[in-house]
């Protein structure tokens, strides 16, 4: 009912006040500081206060281990895709619906997951939710360790979203996230503080 | 409190003034530095941003329907509300159907606009703010002072006192500690969360998706750990494509905070699917008109619907700096508020805010979607005084300002009558030097001299130029 | 070259000497000045309060008065902005639309005219002095003449221009705003004064009578020892013609 009323009001408004305009075109006007897309991503990701570690596919586990040791992390939340990773810390596999894991999820210290993409011009990474990698992995823990393949770094938000669409056809993931680094606020005296409701410390392992 | 008293109180609140002005200049400086150092042709991008919004508005019925169709296909439930009562009722009913008596909220100016918290409270449902700034002001029952940094008028000591009193913790003064207090308090709430509420930054018609921006993660919490997520979305937030949203995002964030990107860009396309392990089981989008279609019908003001709520017009408004958002008495303060508050909620109620502008033009100069705010403020002043009244909400309830009208008529008469004009100049030349003792009794001069010396006038120009060599005096 | 000179209302009521200097500057650079004795005000007082019909009367009066196709030179960015930009808006869709367009495109703010049209070179004959500059909002954002004003100031060899920290922030004048919202206007001009005093200069220079009245009055009220001067008077004195 209200739908018809609103649409009618909007149509009448546009009859009375016709608006004309061609749609605007997005161009990426951010000026890179580094020449190389990966280097630019790294630079930006550090500006955004993530801790960037470079590694290789073979050395990935060691890189993860050394972070866990350095931060003295005891308990790790893992997606199914990473459940076989060999670490000494207690592993909690996120393989059940949130409703069954709720209490645990609110306790666990560190979440590890794979990013789908990196976005070079902004220095951020992107992760999409799916049955393997639920949404809360990148939100609920104090620490995040994010794995990102160099080859998955895209130019900007536009090209990254295109990549998602290409990859998924008509069905987009239920939740696409672009994450710059630790959660933060500047609501008191405009001073930046890290770790409000999301992670306080975010590592990105680039490989 | 009447507007005059309110302004008097705010302009004399030294703490407010100090806190606010410091942050506003920081925000201005950060924006300027970022844009000049890191961005290419910003002005051209503003033009494109303007076009994107203007184009979306020109096809609003089509885009709204496309959004509904695609969102529905994705499993999102789309609701339509023509006014605040209806929007509030829809949200209440969703809560009631699910036996929910407490909701958590991410930041949403639309929810402020419809008075949701107050409404739900009367119906026995508690609505808890989760954005740190919103938490602070909710604890003391104040509305946001700014649409992006809602508690920026309070410094750390004041926040420490607020937390001590309302959250029953010791009195902290370090911002890190205050942040920790808020995190702990809200973690407990998020743990229990059943229904979360958010605003929407962009609704994408082609994808049936909503796009939310934030830094803290409270918005993600509210839209992820809840069973039910309700997003309130003004109908003007609909754009056609992801690329449209990317463009507006590129303009929005530097304008708002002087960052290039927020910590989180949260694009939601559907509720939890069968195979998913988390995410809300229901996602509702409540489309809100509440006077927006009325604005759309007005040639002079429809461009105000381009607003993407970045708040940079406030950050750059010298009047806002001095009085803060509360002095406007409306959900939306500052220049954009002066334009949309009278149009959305009545010029009889908010017409006075149109005086809170020196027409300096700084707001229009920085607006990322090029809304001619200064012209609109002047035009709205015109609505108040013109003879053939347009259909502006509340226009007929405005009291007439006969004294001002008379003055303006006299002005026009003198400004078109050289004899009278020259007599006026002669009068100033002759008598202005002796006017000082009378200044406190002459309206205008009285106000002028509260902080200025009696003006030194020199109206001898006409006398002098007549005899000036080489000048053709005709 | 012949030009019309538009003295502005605040100029002719409060800054007679500065207007004379403005004319001297034009004459010094070989321009013949015509002064229409019947001229009045550009119409901003009513315009800014939303009284458009009253404003149209004043605007039309001016457009008809300055009827020959000579440039109209205005020693104020605020009034120049009104006449080159707002007149067009005012008469849009009326019988005077074309007249307004024709008129508006020959309105120049004086420093813009000196700097961009006449491309003058100023020979500074004064002693070394430190000054700061206040930008009038409409000069900055409507007439867009501030860069010319500052270029002229900077071209003076013995003048050191120290910029205000918040140069682009309004001084709180805003015409009738200053008496309609006196408390806010007061707070705004007080911030401006602080900025000016922080620069430790001898003079504050501005290119608009309204701002100058506001800032000068406020400086005097607190007995500050910064002097103020209208840009054109300052220029004329520096090059030794006044």
CA distance B134 to chain A (A): 9
Of C2, C180, C221, the CB nearest to B451: C221
Q: Which domain holds residue A164?
A: 33-206
Q: Considering the domain boundaries, does residue A26 fall inside one?
A: no
Contact (CB, 8 A) for B252 and B310: yes
Of B49, B60, B279, the CB nearest to A129: B279
Q: How many CB atoms lie within 10 A of CB A40?
A: 20
Tokens 């259909």 map to which residue?
Answer: B391
Rounded Cα gap, residues A27 and C30, in angstroms: 49
Q: Do B150 and A6 touch (CB under 8 A)?
A: no
Q: Do A135 and B182 touch (CB under 8 A)?
A: no
DSSP string, B401-444: -HHHHHHHHHHHHHHT-HHHHHHHHHHHHHHGGG-GGGGGGSTT
Residues of B in contact with A187 (CB under 8 A): 131-133, 136, 149-152, 216
Residues of A in contact with B58 (CB under 8 A): 14, 18-21
CA distance B20 to chain C (A): 13
pLDDT, tens digit, for every residue of A33-81? 999 999 999 999 999 999 999 999 999 999 999 999 999 999 999 999 9
Contact (CB, 8 A) for C90 and C100: yes
Rounded Cα gap, residues C148 and C154, in angstroms: 10
Question: In which residue ranges of chain C is pLDDT below 70?
Answer: none
B 402-441 → C contacts, CB under 8 A: 404-405, 408-409, 411-412, 414-418, 421, 425, 428, 432
Q: Considering the domain boundaries, does residue A15 fall inside one?
A: no
Burial class (CB in 10 A: 0-12, 13-18, 19+), B384: buried
Tell me whether strands A153-154 and A90-94 are parallel, antiparallel or unpaired: unpaired
Contact (CB, 8 A) for B151 and A188: yes
Q: 3-class DSSP state for residue B340?
A: helix
pLDDT surpassing 80 at residue A161: yes
Of B319, B365, B411, the CB nearest to C45: B411
DSSP state of A30: B
Q: To probe the interface with B, which of A4, A157, A173, A174 has the most B CB atoms within 10 Å?
A: A174
Q: Considering the domain boundaries, does residue A8 fall inside one?
A: no
Q: Which residues of A175-199 are buried (b: 16+ CB within 10 A; e: fewer)?
A: bbbbbbbbbbbbbbbbeebbbbbbb
Q: Which residues of B56-83 are buried (b: 16+ CB within 10 A; e: fewer)?
A: bbbbbbbbbebbbebbeebbbebbbbbb
Contact (CB, 8 A) for B235 and B203: no
Contacts of B446 (CB under 8 A, 6+ apart): B439, B440
pLDDT surpassing 80 at residue A170: no
Tokens 């457009």 map to which residue?
Answer: C63
Tokens 């770094």 map to which residue?
Answer: A153
> In angstroms, what CA-CA distances link B395 with B114, B155, B344, B345, B380?
22, 39, 12, 11, 11
CA distance B76 to chain A (A): 11
DSSP string, A64-84: HHHHHHHTT--EEEEEGGGTT
Q: Do B465 and C19 touch (CB under 8 A)?
A: yes
Q: Do B455 and C213 touch (CB under 8 A)?
A: yes
CATH assignment at residue A196:
3.40.50.10420
CA distance B232 to chain A (A): 15
Q: Do B358 and C174 touch (CB under 8 A)?
A: yes
Rounded Cα gap, residues B181 and A197, in angstroms: 11
Q: Do C32 and B7 touch (CB under 8 A)?
A: no
Instruction: Give me chain A's average pLDDT, please.
Output: 95
Contacts of A36 (CB under 8 A, 6+ apart): none
Residues of B in contact with C179 (CB under 8 A): 443-444, 447-448
Of B11, B386, B462, the CB nearest to C183: B11
Q: Touching check for C47 and chain B: CB below 8 Å? A: yes
In degrees, rounded to 5, the angle at the alpha carbon of residue A170 between the alpha carbons of residues A166 and A174 is 95
Residues of B in contact with C33 (CB under 8 A): 470-472
Q: How many CB atoms lie within 10 A of CB C86?
A: 24
Counting the structural domains of chain A, the total is 1
Sheet holding B202-204, edge to edge: A153-154, A117-119, A124-128, A175-179, B264-268, B209-214, B202-204, B238-239
Q: To probe the interface with B, which of A2, A4, A6 has the most B CB atoms within 10 Å?
A: A6
- In terms of pLDDT, which residue wins out, A169 or C134? C134
Contact (CB, 8 A) for A41 and A153: yes
Rounded Cα gap, residues C146 and C131, in angstroms: 16
Residues of B in contact with A184 (CB under 8 A): 215-216, 263
Q: What is the mean pLDDT of residues A1-26?
A: 94
Q: Do A23 and B224 touch (CB under 8 A)?
A: no
CA distance C182 to chain B (A): 6
Q: 3-class DSSP state for residue B123?
A: coil
Nearest Cα residue in chain A from B266: A177
**In 3D, which of C36, C103, C7, C93 has the Cα closest to residue C63?**
C103
Q: 3-class DSSP state for residue B212?
A: strand
Rounded Cα gap, residues B171 and B178, in angstroms: 9
Q: What is the pLDDT of residue B433?
A: 84
CATH code for the domain defined by C129-238: 3.40.50.1860
Rounded Cα gap, residues C208 and C230, in angstroms: 7
Q: Do C170 and B473 touch (CB under 8 A)?
A: no
Q: What is the pLDDT of residue B389?
A: 83
Q: Considering the domain boundaries, does residue A18 fall inside one?
A: no
Question: What subunits touch chain C, counting only 3 or more CB pairs under 8 A?
Answer: B
Q: Do A174 and B293 touch (CB under 8 A)?
A: no
CA distance B28 to chain A (A): 13
Q: Do B273 and A174 touch (CB under 8 A)?
A: yes
User: Chains C/B: 3 or more C-beta pairs closer than 8 A?
Assistant: yes
Q: pLDDT-derived band of residue A101, with 50, 70 and 90 as boundaries? A: very high
Q: Do A196 and B58 touch (CB under 8 A)?
A: no
Q: What is the pTM of this model?
A: 0.96
CA distance B387 to chain A (A): 21
> Six-digit token pair at B21?
């002005």
A vs B: CB pairs below 8 A: 274
Q: 3-class DSSP state for residue C32?
A: strand
The length of chain B, given as a count of residues: 474
CA dihedral B97, B101, B103, B108 (to 10 degrees): 80
Q: Where are the domains of chain C?
A: 2-117, 129-238
- Please report the domains of chain B, with CATH numbers, ordered by start residue: 45-290 (3.40.50.10420), 296-397 (1.10.1060), 413-466 (no CATH)
Residues of C in contact with B370 (CB under 8 A): none
Mean pLDDT per block of 10 residues along chain B (474 residues) reads 90 92 95 97 98 97 98 98 98 97 94 96 96 95 92 94 96 96 94 96 98 97 96 98 98 97 98 93 98 97 98 97 95 97 96 96 98 98 90 91 92 95 91 84 87 91 91 94
CA distance B138 to chain C (A): 28
Of C38, C54, C169, the CB nearest to B411: C54
Q: To probe the interface with C, which of B6, B299, B408 has the most C CB atoms within 10 Å?
A: B408
Of B221, B247, B297, the CB nearest to A16: B297
Of B382, B458, B470, the CB nearest to C15: B458
Q: What is the pLDDT of residue B391?
A: 87
Of B384, B421, B449, the CB nearest to C50: B384
Q: Do A23 and B51 touch (CB under 8 A)?
A: yes
Backbone φ, ψ for residue B167 (5° rounding) = -105, 0
Of C34, C49, C137, the CB nearest to B472: C34
Percent composition of chain C: helix, strand, coil (DSSP 3-state, to 5): 50, 15, 35
> Six-digit token pair at B73?
């296909």
Question: What subunits touch chain B, counting only 3 or more CB pairs under 8 A?
Answer: A, C
> Six-digit token pair at C80?
């120049």
Q: Touching check for A149 and chain B: CB below 8 Å? A: no
Contact (CB, 8 A) for B147 and B135: no
């Amino acid at each position: 009912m209200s739908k018809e009323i609103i649409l009618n009001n909007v149509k009448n408004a546009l009859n009375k006040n016709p608006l004309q305009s061609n749609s605007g075109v997005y161009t990426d006007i951010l000026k890179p500081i580094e020449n190389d897309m990966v280097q630019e991503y790294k630079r930006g990701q550090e500006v955004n206060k993530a801790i960037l570690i470079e590694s290789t596919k073979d050395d990935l586990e060691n890189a993860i281990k050394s972070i866990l040791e350095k931060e003295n992390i005891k308990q790790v939340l893992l997606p199914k895709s990473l459940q076989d990773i060999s670490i000494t810390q207690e592993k909690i596999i996120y393989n059940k619906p949130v409703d069954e894991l709720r209490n645990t999820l609110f306790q666990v210290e560190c979440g590890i997951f794979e990013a789908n993409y990196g976005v070079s011009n902004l220095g951020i990474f992107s992760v999409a939710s799916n049955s393997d990698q639920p949404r809360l992995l990148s939100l609920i823990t104090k620490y995040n360790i994010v794995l990102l393949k160099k080859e998955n770094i895209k130019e900007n938000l536009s090209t990254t979203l295109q990549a998602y669409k290409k990859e998924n056809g008509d069905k987009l993931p239920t939740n696409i996230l672009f994450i710059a680094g630790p959660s933060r606020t500047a609501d008191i005296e405009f001073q930046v503080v890290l770790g409000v409701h999301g992670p306080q410390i975010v590592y990105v392992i680039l490989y | 409190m009447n507007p005059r008293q309110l302004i008097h109180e705010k302009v004399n609140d030294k703490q407010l003034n100090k806190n606010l002005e410091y942050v506003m200049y920081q925000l201005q400086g950060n924006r300027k530095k970022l844009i000049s150092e890191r961005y290419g042709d910003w002005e051209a991008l503003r033009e494109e941003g303007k076009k994107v919004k203007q184009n979306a508005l020109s096809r609003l019925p089509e885009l709204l329907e496309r959004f509904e169709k695609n969102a529905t296909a994705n499993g999102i439930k789309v609701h339509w509300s023509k006014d605040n009562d209806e929007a509030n009722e829809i949200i209440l009913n969703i809560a009631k159907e699910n036996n929910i008596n407490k909701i958590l909220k991410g930041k949403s100016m639309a929810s402020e606009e419809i008075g949701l918290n107050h409404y739900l409270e009367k119906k026995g449902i508690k609505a808890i703010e989760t954005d740190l700034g919103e938490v602070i002001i909710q604890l003391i029952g104040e509305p946001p002072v700014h649409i992006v940094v809602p508690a920026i008028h309070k410094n750390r000591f004041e926040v420490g006192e607020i937390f001590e009193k309302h959250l029953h913790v010791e009195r902290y003064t370090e911002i890190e500690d205050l942040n920790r207090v808020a995190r702990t308090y809200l973690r407990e709430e998020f743990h229990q969360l059943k229904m979360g509420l958010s605003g929407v930054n962009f609704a994408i018609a082609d994808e049936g998706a909503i796009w939310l921006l934030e830094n803290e993660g409270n918005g993600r919490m509210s839209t992820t750990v809840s069973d039910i997520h309700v997003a309130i979305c003004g109908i003007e937030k609909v754009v056609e494509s992801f690329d449209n949203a990317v463009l507006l995002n590129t303009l929005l964030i530097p304008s708002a905070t002087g960052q290039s990107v927020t910590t989180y860009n949260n694009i939601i396309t559907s509720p939890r699917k069968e195979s998913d392990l988390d995410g809300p089981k229901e996602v509702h989008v409540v489309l809100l008109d509440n006077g927006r279609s009325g604005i759309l019908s007005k040639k002079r003001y429809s461009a105000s619907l381009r607003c993407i709520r970045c708040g940079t017009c406030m950050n750059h408004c010298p009047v806002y700096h001095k009085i803060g958002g509360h002095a406007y008495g409306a959900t939306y303060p500052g220049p954009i508020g002066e334009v949309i508050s009278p149009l959305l909620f009545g010029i009889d109620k908010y017409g006075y805010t149109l005086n809170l502008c020196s027409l300096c033009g700084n707001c229009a100069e920085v607006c990322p979607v090029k809304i001619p705010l200064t012209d609109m403020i002047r035009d709205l002043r015109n609505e108040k005084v013109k003879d053939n009244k347009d259909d502006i909400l509340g226009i007929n309830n405005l009291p007439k300002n006969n004294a001002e009208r008379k003055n303006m008529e006299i002005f026009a008469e003198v400004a078109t009558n050289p004899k009278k004009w020259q007599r006026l100049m002669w009068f100033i030349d002759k008598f202005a030097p002796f006017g000082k003792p009378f200044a406190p009794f002459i309206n205008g001069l009285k106000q002028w001299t509260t902080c200025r010396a009696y003006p030194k006038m020199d109206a001898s120009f006409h006398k002098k130029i007549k005899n000036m060599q080489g000048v053709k005096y005709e | 070259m012949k030009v019309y000179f538009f003295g502005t209302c605040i100029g002719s009521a409060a800054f007679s000497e500065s207007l004379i200097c403005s004319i001297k500057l034009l004459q010094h650079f070989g321009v013949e000045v015509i002064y229409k004795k019947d001229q009045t005000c550009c119409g901003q007082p009513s315009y800014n309060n939303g009284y458009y019909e009253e404003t149209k009367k004043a605007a039309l009066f001016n457009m008809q008065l300055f009827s020959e196709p000579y440039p109209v030179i205005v020693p104020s960015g605020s009034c120049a902005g009104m006449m080159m930009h707002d007149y067009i808006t005012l008469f849009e869709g009326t019988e005077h639309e074309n007249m307004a367009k024709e008129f508006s495109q020959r309105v120049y703010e004086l420093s813009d005219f000196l700097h961009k049209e006449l491309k003058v070179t100023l020979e500074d004959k004064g002693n070394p002095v430190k000054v700061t500059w206040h930008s009038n909002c409409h000069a900055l954002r409507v007439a867009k003449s501030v860069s010319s004003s500052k270029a002229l100031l900077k071209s003076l060899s013995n003048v050191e221009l120290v910029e205000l920290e918040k140069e682009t922030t309004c001084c709180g004048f805003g015409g009738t705003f200053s008496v309609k919202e006196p408390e806010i206007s007061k707070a705004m001009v007080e911030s401006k004064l602080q900025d000016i005093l922080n620069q430790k200069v001898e003079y504050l220079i501005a290119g608009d009578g309204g701002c100058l009245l506001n800032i000068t009055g406020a400086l005097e009220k607190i007995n500050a020892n910064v002097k103020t001067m209208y840009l054109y008077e300052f220029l004329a004195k520096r090059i030794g013609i006044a």
